[in-house]
């Protein structure tokens, strides 16, 4: 895997070994960031981060800070190795469950300009109520949420759906707060 664009374009990043983590492929990441655009100092929350490919791409494209949330210890090690290799500052890795991290961020009143969420496809139905509870609170008023699910899934959250597009076996759905 590699960083597609920005200040670290072409840098190779490692993914954890095994089948517990499904890294977002280059094509889907490229599609996501063509929809997101350039990040001018944005603060990013990368949930279910895995190798951190999405959040690392965000930093490479101009985000000032990123918080990575991942519960798998091997994935956390790979993510920390990627941060060390790229010498990135302004990144925090939380090796914890996404629900616990979201509850903590909401309790602290933290909000993010960009929220990236890529839960395991097979657990999305179980996680959707948790995400619906917490994501609107951590998303800044003018922020953007990018949710990756299996292509057949049409996610619903208490946010405005900007677009939903299929890319092979994946679906990217972008949400934002109602601008009214």
Q: For residues 47 and 68, is the Cβ–Cβ distance under 8 A?
A: no
Q: For residues 43 and 65, is the Cβ–Cβ distance under 8 A?
A: yes
pLDDT confidence of residue 11: 67
pLDDT confidence of residue 85: 86
> pLDDT (tens digit, 0 to 9) for every residue of the chain, 180 residues total?
767 666 666 667 777 665 555 566 667 878 888 899 889 999 999 999 988 889 999 998 899 999 999 999 999 998 999 888 888 778 999 999 999 999 999 999 999 999 999 999 999 999 999 999 999 999 999 999 999 999 999 999 999 999 999 998 999 999 999 875
Q: Which two tokens stand for residue 14?
A: 């490692």
Neighbours of 56 (CB within 10 A): 29
pLDDT confidence of residue 1: 72
pLDDT confidence of residue 51: 85
- Lateral strand order in the sheet of 112-117: 91-94, 65-69, 43-47, 112-117, 139-150, 170-176, 160-167
Please give the domain boundaries of the chain with CATH numbers for all domains. Answer: 26-176 (3.40.50.150)
pLDDT confidence of residue 98: 96
Q: Which helix (H) or strand (E) holds 34?
A: helix 26-36
pLDDT confidence of residue 142: 95
pLDDT confidence of residue 10: 62
């Amino acid at each position: 895997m590699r960083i597609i664009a920005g200040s670290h374009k072409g840098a190779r990043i490692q993914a954890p070994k095994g089948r517990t983590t499904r890294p977002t492929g280059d094509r889907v990441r490229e599609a996501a960031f063509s929809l997101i655009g350039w990040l001018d100092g944005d603060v990013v929350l990368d949930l279910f981060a895995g190798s951190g490919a999405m959040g690392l791409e965000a930093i490479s494209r101009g985000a000032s800070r990123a918080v990575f949330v991942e519960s798998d210890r091997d994935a956390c090690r790979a993510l920390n190795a990627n941060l060390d290799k790229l010498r990135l500052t302004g990144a925090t890795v939380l090796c914890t469950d996404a629900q616990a991290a979201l509850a903590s961020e909401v309790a602290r009143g933290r909000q993010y300009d960009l929220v990236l969420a890529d839960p395991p496809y097979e657990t999305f139905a179980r996680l959707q109520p948790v995400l619906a509870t917490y994501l609107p609170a951590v998303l800044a008023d003018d922020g953007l949420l990018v949710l990756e699910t299996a292509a057949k899934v049409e996610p619903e959250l208490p946010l405005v759906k900007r677009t939903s597009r299929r890319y092979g076996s994946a679906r990217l759905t972008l949400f934002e707060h109602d601008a009214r």
